[in-house]
Structure 1
Amino acid sequence: MPSTEVQRIVLLVALGVLGYVLVYTWTQDFGPGRQESPPFEEAPLIDTGADPVIAEFPGEESGVARESGQGVQAPARDDDVPVGIAAPTAPQAETAPGAGAFENDERLVHVRTPVHEVWIDRRGGDIVRLKLPRFSEEVGGEETVTLLDQRYDHIYVAQSGLIGADGGDSNGRPLYEAGAAEYVVEEGQFELTLRHASDDVVLAKRFTFDADDYLITVAQDVVNRSAETFEAQMFAQLKRDATRPTKSGVPFGPRPYVGAAFTTPEDRYDKIDFEDLDDGTYRVEVTGGWAAVLQHYFVSSWVGTPGEVNAYYGRRLSDGNYAVGFVGPRFVVPPNQRASVGAKLYVGPKDQRRLEQIAPHLNLTVDYGFLWWMSVPLFYVLDAIHSVVGNWGVAIILLTFCVKLLLYPLASASYRSMAKMKKVMPQVKRLQERHSDNRQKLSQEMMALYKKEGANPLGGCLPLVIQMPVFLALYWVLIESVELRQAPFVFWIKDLAAMDSYFVLPLLYGVSFYAMQLLNPPPPDPMQAKVMKAMPIVFTALFIFFPAGLVLYWLVNNLLSLLQQWYITRKVEKASA
């Protein structure tokens, strides 16, 4: 096969792989939801050597019999709350978590901090709405991001409580009392306490907010004033539907990935699509651990107490929504004693450094895909540059300089080979004319010529092939790193993570691509020449829909490559003159 044919095939394969990976990864996480999913194999419980934690769900067989009017058959129930050990009855439908919360505003407690605006339903003490004041929905807009919410067409709430033999959430959610309907926290920490008292037991739910942190501590206090032992388990879960929020800044309204994630002893980051839970409940026991719901730049996560064995689960509820959370170990409160259990709830941006501090592997919810090993160092280098220059666009430009400097030896060898190829093209054309009827002889003569002149016909493909993984890794950095969300550059570019609405960068990229072709030797094969001429147009059209930051990287990369190639070509021409 002639070397020009090999070059064409390599180039087309490289472009095909690049296009396939981009389209596949984008549609997996940002495209429409799948119509069907393969069966999901339920994860087995892991033997930790401790007493097992039992979390039972409606419709599943239980090894624990419970008394009811019909033997061990459980009555009809709303299944928002998992049933703990020996839970005798079910919560009533009319007291389901957050039911009608915003139709009963008198039940809501409103807490405002610099980082959170929270509404807590006193029925059950669930967080039924949460806004992030430091993040706007649109660039320059006044409307802030609403992460947790409960509406007639959407639900995403954070629930917690006590279940089990004596748990207050096993027989209908308790209605807590609060000292006030609204609290404002300007600095430091603030603790909100909700109380529910009966003749025998006093329950308290404490929320600790920090004015500068997205982490909320939730504690359940029990004061047992009865003559009997109190026995319960804490549960904490995120309840959400599977709808994805629309995302502006990218054409055709692609929707960010929404799904669950866990950490397990076998898998530091186990990402589960909601559709996979339609075919079975996910269960795993983890010491400490966390369960999260991902939503593009933001994450909500319940974090279990370190050192405790918690039963984590993900499942589909009877109402079509999904629950992701855990049930903690059983605890016992003797008569006239008190006890406290708790968990932590993170609701906020995917700040890698902060998430890493909260729990092991929680930072992996910033999902850079299969090139994470390249994306992570790229992000930290980019972040370090930004800390100095203060502009993410300038940081991308300087990062491009660093990458080009790192790859300069390879690029230099490639451009030297291309310059030599340009020099031998007249001889190649003469060989093609001489051996037009003998392709094997033509191939042998051309390879001998390339070897004699030190030219490599595949050298021109090397820069593109080398840049592909960097291109993909930076692509995921730009669309997954919340630090670049709505990050401005200059003039018309207000969001580097969104497309260039005026198409200036893609057009400049196309011009730079065409200019690079002028420095390259013209392909001897007519079909290959047509393909090469079409490439600037194809890539310009493709890059119109990419984040502006990514196009900026590629544009600067092309400009630097132009300078490198021009300089090296001149040196080769002078040396051979």
Structure 2
Amino acid sequence: MVSSAAGAPYIGVDTIAEAGGEGVYHWGAQIPLFFGYKKSIFSCGRQPLGENIPLFINHYVSNSVLWASVKNKFFVQIVSPSVPAIDCEINAKRVEDSKKGFLLDWVCARLKFKEVELVKGASVERSFDCYIGPKLYSAISRLGMHKEDVMEFGRLKWVCSLLLLFMNKIHSVVPNYGVVIIVLSLIVKGVFWPITHRSAVSMKKMQEIQPEVNEIRNKYKDKPQKMNQEIMELYRRHKINPMSGCLPLFALFTVLRSAVELRYASFLWIRDLSEPEGLLAGISPIPINILPIVMTLLTILQQYLTPASGDPQQKKMMMYMTFIMLFMFYNMASALVLYWTVSQFLSMAALFLQRYKTKIMQLAPLKSS
């Protein structure tokens, strides 16, 4: 099985062992390490290659293998032999032009079977079940043997599968995927409202206990690990979960980053929802993406309208995070940025409504008097 990458993201190989309870193993993140290439988490853009990075690599999976897959962003090849293979060989080649940084050219998986000695006139027959096609969860999940795990939904599998189901059900009524994502944003806001509300409550509690947090920071400023432990313990005592509102974003990110349904789906000025907008590509030295900029402006406005904590450091951190999010989202799939932009707009609308209700409640006693 071969999958051509030509520098495309999300290329990889998956295998599942016959025994051991390890489940499906995703080798995609390991392949660069097999070349001896390690990218710094602080690097931006392409990182220069070292002098001893090989052009080809071979890696052997020594366990017996029930099935193996090779995939890219949107398509997958899955081969399941009738008799488990004794091992699997992963081959990969990187792009030769080192100026482009580390990019995969292709990957390949080879299943190896136990040798059979044949007498004269005898024959051996092997059969395989194969799936070669798009990464459609609805189709692959029916194949059995955990083959749907090639989608790499991880621990969010149940949420991601539900979101995909909702997205496709809505699309059966609404033919445009851009409108589908807007409707999905409304549904997610409604379904996850209790979580979002808890997140807002957590933020308010975090503001209330900020003096205690500052005290811990001053006390353990020379022991960062101890400081983080004490702060998390403080959050636990007050039942605060800073990450509670991130579940919908993580799930949507996992679904929309490689949903084949969105491939070549257009919406307004966006030609392909599975890719960045890329306006003026080929004309402007930097492709123009409008949605991430709108998303950032909405985030800044929301921060301005939200009651701020008295901690200047936290204010700066929130502003820094806003611009970090801009860089993170700028080259992501338009579908994901569209969802997050609409979600931010809905949060703004809810904030305005809450302020309006608060104002009405404050004026009510004055009118009665």
Superposition TM-score, scaled by structure 2 size: 0.65
Pair 1:409–1:262, CA change in 2 (3 A): closer
Q: Deviations over 1:458-503 (max 9, x none)?
A: xxxx897333222122112112322222322x22211112112232
Match of 1:544 in 2: 330
Work out whether 1:561 is the aligned partner of 2:324.
no
- Residue 409 (structure 1) shift: 4.0
Q: Deviations over 1:301-347 (max 9, x none)?
A: 22212xxx322422267x99864214278597996x98854323332
Work out whether 1:314 is the aligned partner of 2:314.
no
Structure 1 contact 418–521 (Cα < 8 Å) conserved: no
- Residue 261 (structure 1) shift: 2.4
Match of 1:271 in 2: 26
Taking the aligned partners of 2:113 and 2:204, their CA distance within structure 1 comes to 67
Work out whether 1:259 is the aligned partner of 2:13.
yes
Work out whether 1:283 is the aligned partner of 2:283.
no
Match of 2:130 in 1: 345
Pair 1:322–1:552, CA change in 2 (3 A): closer
- Residue 552 (structure 1) shift: 0.8
SS at match of 2:173: helix
Q: Deviations over 1:390-414 (max 9, x none)?
A: 2222221111111111233454576
Letter of the 1:469 partner, please give it: L
Q: Deviations over 1:232-278 (max 9, x none)?
A: xxxxxx3x59x84223xxxxxxx432334235342331223456596
Match of 1:474 in 2: 252
Match of 2:358 in 1: 572
Write 1 or 2 for the structure with the bigger share of strand. Answer: 1
Match of 1:452 in 2: none
Q: Deviations over 1:185-216 (max 9, x none)?
A: xxxxxxxxxxxxxxxxxxxxxxxxxxxxxxxx
Counterparts of 1:16-165 in structure 2, within 5 Å, are: none
Taking the aligned partners of 1:414 and 1:348, their CA distance within structure 2 comes to 40
SS at match of 2:133: strand
Match of 2:310 in 1: 524
Match of 1:185 in 2: none
Gaps of 5+ in 2: 36-56, 95-106, 217-234, 279-287, 364-369
2:78 to 297, 301, 304: 301
Pair 1:329–1:385, CA change in 2 (3 A): farther
**Identity over aligned residues, as a percent?**
25
Letter of the 1:471 partner, please give it: L
- Residue 529 (structure 1) shift: 3.6
Structure 1 contact 293–301 (Cα < 8 Å) conserved: yes
Letter of the 2:6 partner, please give it: P
Taking the aligned partners of 1:421 and 1:269, their CA distance within structure 2 comes to 39
Q: How many residues align?
A: 291
SS at match of 1:315: strand
Letter of the 1:404 partner, please give it: K
Match of 1:491 in 2: 268
Taking the aligned partners of 2:311 and 2:120, their CA distance within structure 1 comes to 87
- Residue 292 (structure 1) shift: 1.7
SS at match of 2:111: strand
Taking the aligned partners of 2:254 and 2:203, their CA distance within structure 1 comes to 31
Letter of the 1:477 partner, please give it: V
Relative to structure 2, which stretch is displaced further, 536-545 or 319-328?
319-328
Taking the aligned partners of 1:380 and 1:300, their CA distance within structure 2 comes to 23
Q: Deviations over 1:17-59 (max 9, x none)?
A: xxxxxxxxxxxxxxxxxxxxxxxxxxxxxxxxxxxxxxxxxxx
Pair 1:361–1:411, CA change in 2 (3 A): closer
Pair 1:280–1:338, CA change in 2 (3 A): closer
Taking the aligned partners of 1:421 and 1:345, their CA distance within structure 2 comes to 53
Match of 1:385 in 2: 170
Structure 2 contact 198–244 (Cα < 8 Å) conserved: no
Work out whether 1:246 is the aligned partner of 2:24.
no
Letter of the 1:246 partner, please give it: G
Taking the aligned partners of 1:342 and 1:420, their CA distance within structure 2 comes to 61
Cα root mean square deviation, aligned: 4.1
Taking the aligned partners of 2:163 and 2:254, their CA distance within structure 1 comes to 10
Structure 1 contact 315–323 (Cα < 8 Å) conserved: yes
Larger Rg: 1
SS at match of 2:84: strand
Pair 1:329–1:302, CA change in 2 (3 A): farther
Match of 1:507 in 2: 293
Letter of the 2:249 partner, please give it: F
Counterparts of 1:174-185 in structure 2, within 5 Å, are: none
- Residue 570 (structure 1) shift: 2.1
Pair 1:520–1:356, CA change in 2 (3 A): closer
Taking the aligned partners of 2:205 and 2:323, their CA distance within structure 1 comes to 27
Match of 2:219 in 1: none
